[in-house]
């Protein structure tokens, strides 16, 4: 059996092999031998197979993770754990080239954009390694009579379920804080992009992570994912994915009363006022929607443009979008690669058809680019005159499709921005200081940027409102999520207590 870590790493080489589970420090197949095919998005040919985990495999992983909690991992000081996390970061960066090739091959991400992923993933580990050594436990004095002190404990076995867009980065965004908090984990990577997670076992081993602390079960969501959600010994699920899946997971985990963090879909507004720096706003809008193949949860996929500059912005967007280079992910000048999977490709093309049928004005793109007859390629697409009643205004397309809508006043802009079920991110472009802050405060979104695209600061709360999520991760929010705080009260004086059964309701002491 060939393991993912032994797949050839040179660009253009034949990636063939088997992506195994990683349970209790061992690369293993599913107990029943189930597998699924892994497709190359630029050809839709299967180039690898992965183990398809079932309930028995998830159970094996959870058992190992529970045992590891009671093992050396549970006894490490935060400094020792943080050193291991730092070594994981180094091990990731050592594999930056290989990781970029895996990610590009597996997800269709242009190789130039995949190259940044190792650095971001390593930064996730370094950041939470730093944070973990600064975590403190509060103490409270109640008058002179009592003190209370907090015991912060890892919540236990963390169940991590991740999507296929920037898979390695998002897996590490959950692994790093969970491990920093002292949890052990079972990760279920997305079935459309399992390849890069196949590097995690050797990274963990090189860094000295004890067996059983990091477990990976590959598989289909409805099988491996559902089994993790339903496992009674997993008290926490951190999920990133579609809103409909998030709702299902919340329902399925309700019987176990699990702690949940839900990072869900988005349809984020990018609001451009007519006093904005249009050069910067257009650069940002074009980058936001067409980078990462448009498969970015925080993309400003609805551009709301003030009437005075609407036609000029449309013209400039059309020129830029028409020039976006769609091509093979491995080509260094490709800006927009292949969408992840033929099903997703069909879904994005379907939305484009719906937009046309609904009467939106197709400015540019809308189909398969010339010269790329196979694979999941879509032209950079811009719709103008998109109305709030249209499905392409309301629903997440998750592809390279920008919907542009005009507005007149600040109130109109805010009303349009808030007129969808989602509330993940928002972008405001204006040079009017007051308006910038007032609009940012009025838009229902978890994360707002003024005159910028989504530059992240890992200390800040990450998450959405409305249908875009529940809970916050990032910085201390993540540590709070992966730990439980217990309070111990200590009396420093005699405690007055009513003497029930001793003939008096009054406190005697």
β partners of residue 22:
27, 216
**Residue 480, burial from CB neighbour count under 10 angstroms (0-12, 13-18, 19+):** middle
| C-alpha Rg value of the chain to the nearest Å | 25
The answer to the question of residue 18 lying near ligand NAD (CB under 6 A) is no
The 3-state secondary structure of 1-22 reads CCCHHHCCCCCCCCCCCEECEE
245 binds ligand NAD (CB under 6 A): yes
Name the burial class of residue 369, with classes exposed (0-12), middle (13-18) and buried (19+) by CB atoms within 10 angstroms of its CB. Answer: middle
Q: Which of 164, 351, 393, 482 binds ligand NAD (CB under 6 A)?
A: 164
Among positions 104, 162, 306, 405, the unique one binding ligand NAD when judged by CB under 6 A? 162
Q: How far apart are CA 34 and CA 144, in angstroms?
A: 63
Q: Does 426 participate in binding ligand NAD (rule CB under 6 A)?
A: no
Q: Which residues contact 31 (CB under 8 A, 6 or more apart)?
A: 54, 56, 57, 60
With binding defined as CB under 6 A, does residue 226 bind ligand NAD?
yes
Residue 249 as a binder of ligand NAD (CB under 6 A): the answer is: yes
Chain-centre distance for alpha carbon 328: 25
Q: Nearest distance from residue 365's CB to ligand NAD, in Å? A: 21
Determine phi and psi for 83, rounding to 5 degrees.
Answer: -65, -40
Nearest residue (CB) to ligand NAD, 182 versus 475 = 475
- Residue of 64, 213, 304, 424 interacting with ligand NAD (CB under 6 A): 424
Binding residue (CB under 6 A) for ligand NAD from 266, 269, 399, 474: 266
Instruction: Report, in Å, the least distance between residue 462 CB and ligand NAD.
Output: 7
Q: Following DSSP, what letter does each residue of 160-223 receive, concatenated?
A: EE--SSSHHHHHHHHHHHHHHTT-EEEEE--TT--TGGGGHHHHHHHHTPPTTSEEE----III
Report the site for ligand NAD in 188-207 (rule: CB under 6 A): 188, 190-191
To ligand NAD, the closest distance from the beta carbon of 368 in angstroms equals 21
How many chain residues are in contact with ligand NAD, going by CB under 6 A?
A: 30
Q: Does 37 participate in binding ligand NAD (rule CB under 6 A)? A: no
Q: How far apart are CA 396 and CA 359, in angstroms?
A: 18
Asked if residue 422 binds ligand NAD (CB under 6 A), the reply is no
Beta bridge partners of residue 499, listed in sequence order: 504
Tally of CA atoms within 13 A in the half-sphere of 109 that contains its CB: 28
CA distances from 188 to 171, 178, 468 (A): 9, 14, 21
Are 362 and 353 in contact by the 8 Å Cβ rule? The answer is no
Q: In what order do the strands lie in the sheet with 425-429?
A: 361-364, 381-384, 401-407, 302-306, 269-272, 425-429, 447-450
Binding mask 380-399 for ligand NAD (x = CB under 6 A): ----------------x-x-
- Which of 156, 198, 225, 475 binds ligand NAD (CB under 6 A)? It is 225
Q: Residue 238 is encoded by which pair of tokens?
A: 């951190």
- Of the candidate residues 30, 54, 104, 165, the single one contacting ligand NAD (CB under 6 A): 165
Report how far residue 275's alpha carbon sits from residue 271's, in angstroms, rounded to the nearest whole number.
12
CB atoms within 10 A of CB 301: 28
Q: Please, which residue, 156 or 464, has the CB nearer to ligand NAD?
A: 464
Give the chain's count of helices (H) and strands (E).
17, 23
Q: Which residues are catalytically annotated?
A: 263, 297
Q: Which member of 85, 200, 209, 229 binds ligand NAD (CB under 6 A)?
A: 229
Q: Are 162 and 495 in contact (CB under 8 A)?
A: no
* Residues within window 296-325 making contact with ligand NAD, judged by CB under 6 A: 297
Query: Minimum CB separation from ligand NAD for residue 423, in Å?
Result: 11
C-beta of 241 vs 406, nearer to ligand NAD: 241
* Among 195-203, 234-242, 356-364, 477-485, the segment contacting ligand NAD (CB under 6 A): 234-242
β-sheet bridge partners, residue 491: 146
Q: Is 57 in the site for ligand NAD (CB under 6 A)?
A: no
Instruction: Give whichever of 82 and 243 is closer to ligand NAD, judged by the CB atom.
Output: 243
Beta carbon of residue 298, minimum distance to ligand NAD (angstroms, whole number): 7
Does residue 248 bind ligand NAD (CB under 6 A)? Answer: yes
Q: Work out whether 238 is an interface residue with ligand NAD (CB under 6 A).
A: no
Looking at the Cβ atoms of 395 and 410, the one nearer to ligand NAD is 395
CB-nearer residue toward ligand NAD: 27 or 466? 466
- 474: contact with ligand NAD by CB under 6 A: no
Residue 180 sits in the site that holds ligand NAD (CB under 6 A): no
Least Cβ distance, residue 478 to ligand NAD (angstroms): 13
Q: How far is the CB of 244 from ligand NAD (least distance, A)?
A: 7
Q: Which is nearer to ligand NAD, 273 or 398 (CB)?
A: 398
Q: How far is the CB of 121 from ligand NAD (least distance, A)?
A: 14
CA–CA separation, 239 and 297 (whole Å): 13
Site residues for ligand NAD per CB under 6 A: 161-165, 170, 188, 190-191, 221-222, 225-226, 229, 240-242, 245, 248-249, 263-266, 297, 396, 398, 424, 464, 469
């Amino acid at each position: 059996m060939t393991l993912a870590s032994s797949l050839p790493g040179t660009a253009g080489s034949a990636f063939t092999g088997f992506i195994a589970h990683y349970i209790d420090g061992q690369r293993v197949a599913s107990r029943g031998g189930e597998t699924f095919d892994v497709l190359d998005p630029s050809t839709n040919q299967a180039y690898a197979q992965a183990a398809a985990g079932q309930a028995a495999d998830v159970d094996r992983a959870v058992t190992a993770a529970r045992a590891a909690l009671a093992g050396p991992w549970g006894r490490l000081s935060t400094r020792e754990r943080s050193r291991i996390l730092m070594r994981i970061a180094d091990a990731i960066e050592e594999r930056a080239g290989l990781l970029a090739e895996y990610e590009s091959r597996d997800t269709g991400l242009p190789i130039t954009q995949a190259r940044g992923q190792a650095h971001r993933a390593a930064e996730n580990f370094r950041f939470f390694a730093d944070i973990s050594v600064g975590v403190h436990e509060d103490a409270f004095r109640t008058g002179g009579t009592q003190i209370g002190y907090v015991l912060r404990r890892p919540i236990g076995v963390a169940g991590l379920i991740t999507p296929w867009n920037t898979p390695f980065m998002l897996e590490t965004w959950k692994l790093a804080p969970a491990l920093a908090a002292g949890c052990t984990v079972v990760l279920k990577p997305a079935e459309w992009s399992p390849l890069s997670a196949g590097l995690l076992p050797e990274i963990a081993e090189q860094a000295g992570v004890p067996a059983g602390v990091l477990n990976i079960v590959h598989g289909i969501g409805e099988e491996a994912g559902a089994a993790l959600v339903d496992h009674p010994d997993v008290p926490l699920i951190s999920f990133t994915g579609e809103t409909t899946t998030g709702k299902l997971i919340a329902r399925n985990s309700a019987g176990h009363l699990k702690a949940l963090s839900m990072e869900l879909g988005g349809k984020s507004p990018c609001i451009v006022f007519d006093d904005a720096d249009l050069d910067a706003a257009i650069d940002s809008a074009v980058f936001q929607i067409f980078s990462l193949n448009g498969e970015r949860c925080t993309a400003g996929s609805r551009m709301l443009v003030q009437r005075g500059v609407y036609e000029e912005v449309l013209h400039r967007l059309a020129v830029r979008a028409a020039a976006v280079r769609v091509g093979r992910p491995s080509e260094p000048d490709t800006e927009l690669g292949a969408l992840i999977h033929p099903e997703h490709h069909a879904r994005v093309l379907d939305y484009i058809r719906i937009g046309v049928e609904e009467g939106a004005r197709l400015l540019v793109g809308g189909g398969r680019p010339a010269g790329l007859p196979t694979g999941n390629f879509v032209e950079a697409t811009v719709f103008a005159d998109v109305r709030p009643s249209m499905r392409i205004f309301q629903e997440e397309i998750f592809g390279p499709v920008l919907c542009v809508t005009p507005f007149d006043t600040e109130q109109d802009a805010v009303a349009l921005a808030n007129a969808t079920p989602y509330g993940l991110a928002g972008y405001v472009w204006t040079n009017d200081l007051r308006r910038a802050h007032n609009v940012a405060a009025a838009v229902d979104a978890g994360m707002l940027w003024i005159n910028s695209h989504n530059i992240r600061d890992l200390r800040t709360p990450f998450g959405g409102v409305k249908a875009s999520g529940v809970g916050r991760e990032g910085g201390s929010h993540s540590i709070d999520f992966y730990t439980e705080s217990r309070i111990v009260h200590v009396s420093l004086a005699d405690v007055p207590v009513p003497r029930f059964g001793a003939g008096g309701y009054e406190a005697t002491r």
